[in-house]
Amino acid sequence: MYERIYHAVYRIPAGCVATYGQIAALAGFPRRARQVGYALAAGGPEDLPWHRVVNAKGEISRRADPAGHEDLQRRLLESEGVEFSTRGNISLQRFRWRPQLDED
DNA sequence: CCCATGACTGATT
DNA sequence: TAATCAGCCATGG
């Protein structure tokens, strides 16, 4: 079940980000953005690039865990070349991943 | 099976 | 532009 979602996340190239809804659609679930978040929260593979998944506003979503993972995700993205604006969000218009037809 | 919750989204106000 | 509201549905009690 989550496998499908994880697979979609793996397809996100470094230096780009995708929204939950985008992942959901990519995985074949048009309206299940929440389930995507749920799947990530469930904890997938250790090498899962979950940090490339952000909400529709290009911000890092808050999780139940109050830990500083929010900052971690940001740093991971920055190390991949993703820039954050002063307000702390990503310019989806520039960094959102546009699935190419030759992806698979 | 019914009820509440949640890494969300899009339309309204 | 920011805050609210209503859908969405898998998961767990």
**pTM exceeds 0.85:** yes
Mean pLDDT score, A31-41: 92
Euclidean distance between CA atoms A96 and A76, whole angstroms: 16
Nucleotide with the nearest C1' to A55 CA: B8
Mean pLDDT score, A2-29: 93
Cβ atoms of A51 and A72 closer than 8 Å: yes
Which of A's residues 5-64 have CB atoms within 7 A of nucleic strand C?
Answer: 31-35, 38, 42
Mean pLDDT of chain A: 89
Mean pLDDT score, A32-54: 92
Nucleotide with the nearest C1' to A48 CA: B7
Whole-Å CA distances, A54 to A21, A96, A97, A101, A104: 9, 10, 11, 22, 23
| Distance from residue A24's CA to nucleotide B6's C1', rounded to whole Å | 16
pLDDT in tens, A51-88: 999 999 999 998 876 667 778 999 999 999 999 998 88
At A71 the three-state DSSP class reads helix
pLDDT at A101: 55
pLDDT at A12: 94
Checking phi first, is residue A18 left (phi over 0); if not, alpha (psi -120 to 50) or beta? beta
At A53 the three-state DSSP class reads strand
| Distance from residue A80's CA to nucleotide C13's C1', rounded to whole Å | 41
Closest CA to A45 of A71, A9, A99, A88: A9
